[in-house]
C-alpha cells in the first residue's frame, strides 16, 4: 500500500475573473521507503501539493489518501489526529515556539496526542541525539544557530511513529554543508521505511530522491525515475 496517494487532484482558488487553477488533475503515489522530490518554477503548484498532502488544505475535487484513509472522510479532530500521529512536516520557516526549549518543542506533538510528559521527554531527547544535538535539550531557539534550529525542526517532524514526511524547501536558509546533513538525515529515515515528499528548486537536492516530479502550471509535465535528469528538467522549464 502506498503511504500517500493524490488521485486526480484539482485545487482552484477564487472564482470568475480571479480564478486560479493551482493544481489540475495531479495523480501521484509515494511508497514506503521512497523519497519523491517535487520541482518546478514559482507558481507551479509545489506548495499547494504539499499542503494538500499534509491535510492543511482540501482539494476542490479528487482525493488525498494516507495509508488507505481518504482525508476527505475525516472530521476536523480526526484529521488533526492523523496529522499528529502519521505526518512530519518540516516548514521552511521552522515554526519553533520561542518560549519552549528544544526538547519541549519536539515533545509537544506527542503530548498533544496524549503521551505523558515523562514518556515524551525521553523520545524528544533521543530524537535530538539522532540529529546530532546531544546536550541541546534545554536550549531555546534563540540560543541556537539556524542550522541547529533546523535540526530541531527535523527532529520534531520525525519523533514518534511518523510514516510520511513532508519537507518544504527545508534547506533554503542553510549553508550548503548543513543543508547536505539535513538531506542525509531525511534520506536515512526514508531508507528505514518512511515515505517523504521534498519540495525543492535545486537539482543537487533532488539528487537525494528516488523520483523527481516536475510541475508546471499545476500539471505534472515530467517524471524522472532516479535523479540524474533533475538538472535537465529544470532546463526544459523555460
pLDDT of residue 7: 97
Q: For the chain, how far is it from start to end, CA to CA, in angstroms?
A: 36
pLDDT of residue 107: 95
Q: How confident is the model at residue 238 (pLDDT cuts 50, 70, 90)?
A: very low
Q: What is the mean pLDDT of residues 59-65?
A: 97
Reduce the DSSP state of residue 35 to 3 states and report it: strand
Residue 141 in grid coordinates: 531557539
Reduce the DSSP state of residue 151 to 3 states and report it: helix
Q: How confident is the model at residue 232 (pLDDT cuts 50, 70, 90)?
A: low
DSSP string, 224-238: EESSTTHHHHHHTT-
Q: State residue 30 phi and psi, 5-degree precision.
A: -125, 125
- Within 8 A by CB and 6+ apart from 7, the residues are 27, 62, 63, 64, 65
Question: Is residue 181 scored above 80 in pLDDT?
Answer: no
* Distance separating alpha carbons of residues 85 and 88, to the nearest angstrom: 8
DSSP string, 70-122: EGGG--HHHHHHHHHHHEEEE-TT----TTS-HHHHHHHHHHHTT--HHHHHH
Q: What is the mean pLDDT of residues 173-177?
A: 71
Q: How confident is the model at residue 135 (pLDDT cuts 50, 70, 90)?
A: very high
Kindly report, residue by residue over 4-45, the tens digit of the pLDDT: 999 999 999 988 888 999 999 999 999 999 999 999 998 899
Q: Cβ distance 45 to 16 under 8 Å?
A: no
Q: Cβ distance 115 to 57 under 8 Å?
A: no
| Residue whose C-alpha cell is 484539482 | 10
pLDDT of residue 89: 87
pLDDT of residue 219: 96
Percent of residues, the chain, with pLDDT higher than 90:
56
* Distance separating alpha carbons of residues 155 and 127, to the nearest angstrom: 5
CATH architecture of the region 4-237: 3-Layer(aba) Sandwich (3.40)
Question: Is residue 103 scored above 90 in pLDDT?
Answer: yes
Amino acid at each position: 500500500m502506498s503511504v500517500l496517494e493524490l488521485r486526480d487532484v484539482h485545487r482552484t482558488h477564487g472564482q470568475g475573473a480571479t480564478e486560479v487553477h493551482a493544481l489540475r488533475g495531479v495523480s501521484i503515489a509515494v511508497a514506503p521507503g521512497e523519497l519523491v522530490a517535487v520541482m518546478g518554477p514559482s507558481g507551479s503548484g509545489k506548495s499547494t501539493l504539499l499542503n494538500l498532502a499534509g491535510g492543511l488544505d482540501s482539494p476542490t475535487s479528487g482525493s488525498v489518501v494516507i495509508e488507505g484513509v481518504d482525508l476527505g472522510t475525516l472530521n476536523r479532530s480526526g484529521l488533526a489526529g492523523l496529522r499528529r500521529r502519521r505526518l512530519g512536516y518540516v516548514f521552511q520557516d521552522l515554526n519553533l515556539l520561542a518560549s519552549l526549549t528544544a526538547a519541549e518543542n519536539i515533545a509537544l506533538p506527542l503530548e498533544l496526542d496524549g503521551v505523558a510528559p515523562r514518556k515524551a521527554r525521553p523520545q524528544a531527547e533521543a530524537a535530538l541525539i539522532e540529529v546530532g544535538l546531544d546536550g541541546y535539550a534545554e536550549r531555546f531557539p534563540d540560543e541556537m544557530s539556524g542550522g541547529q534550529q533546523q535540526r530541531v525542526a527535523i527532529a520534531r517532524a520525525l519523533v514518534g511513529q511518523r510514516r510520511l514526511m513532508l519537507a518544504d524547501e527545508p534547506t533554503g536558509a542553510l549553508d550548503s554543508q548543513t543543508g547536505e546533513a539535513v538531506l542525509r538525515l531525511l534520506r536515512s529515515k526514508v531508507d528505514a521505511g518512511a515515505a517523504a515528499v521534498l519540495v525543492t528548486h535545486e537539482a543537487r537536492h533532488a539528487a537525494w530522491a528516488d523520483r523527481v516530479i516536475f510541475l508546471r502550471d499545476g500539471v505534472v509535465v515530467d517524471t524522472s525515475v532516479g535523479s540524474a535528469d533533475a538538472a535537465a528538467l529544470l532546463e526544459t522549464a523555460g
